């Protein structure tokens, strides 16, 4: 498996746009609404190198009753896999209600990508981080469509 991931990384580094597009297509759902018909304006493929779990407790104001919240997020350090990738940090924020999540956002000045997931996905993401190499992928398209995901490399079933 390590050899397969290393070969994948070498291929991505040797020909970033073409190879990253190949890898990117493996992890995308079907494009039934034709949102990805055009080539992406931006593609960043990153490998997670470190992570931290943050569980906060905050009182957002002096309102009554006192609104106290406990936000949870994962802070990922990354290194570029695709040429031109500038993100060095990914913040994954969890929404306990999960009704309508915010769209992925890229802050190029801070080199930070922020992703939003329902709280129910926390354990799944933590398991992925603990059990092998994890990649983050971000794509933005001319029509305003944005895609982001976390995925493992291909692995053999045991």
Taking the model in full, what pTM does it have? Answer: 0.77
Show me where the domains of the chain are located: 2-29+40-152
Confidence band (pLDDT; 50, 70, 90) for 21?
very low
Nearest-angstrom CA–CA distance, 137 and 86: 12
d(CA 106, CA 84): 14
pLDDT above 90 coverage of the chain, percent? 46
Check pLDDT > 70 for residue 24: no
In tens, the pLDDT along 33-61 reads 889 888 888 889 999 999 999 998 887 77
């Amino acid at each position: 498996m390590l050899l397969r991931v290393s070969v994948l990384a070498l291929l991505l580094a040797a020909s970033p746009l073409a190879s990253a597009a190949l890898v990117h297509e493996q992890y995308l759902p079907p494009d039934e609404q034709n949102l990805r018909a055009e080539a992406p304006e931006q593609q960043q493929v990153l490998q997670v190198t470190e992570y931290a779990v943050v569980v906060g407790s905050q009182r957002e104001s002096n309102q009554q009753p006192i609104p106290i919240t406990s936000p949870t997020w994962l802070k990922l350090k990354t290194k570029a896999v695709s040429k031109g990738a500038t993100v060095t940090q990914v913040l994954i924020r969890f929404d306990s209600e999960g009704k309508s999540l915010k769209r992925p956002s890229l802050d190029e000045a801070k080199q930070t990508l922020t992703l939003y997931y329902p709280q129910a996905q926390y354990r799944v993401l933590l398991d992925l981080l603990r059990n092998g190499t994890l990649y983050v992928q971000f794509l933005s398209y001319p029509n305003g469509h944005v895609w982001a995901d976390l995925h493992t490399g291909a692995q053999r079933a045991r």
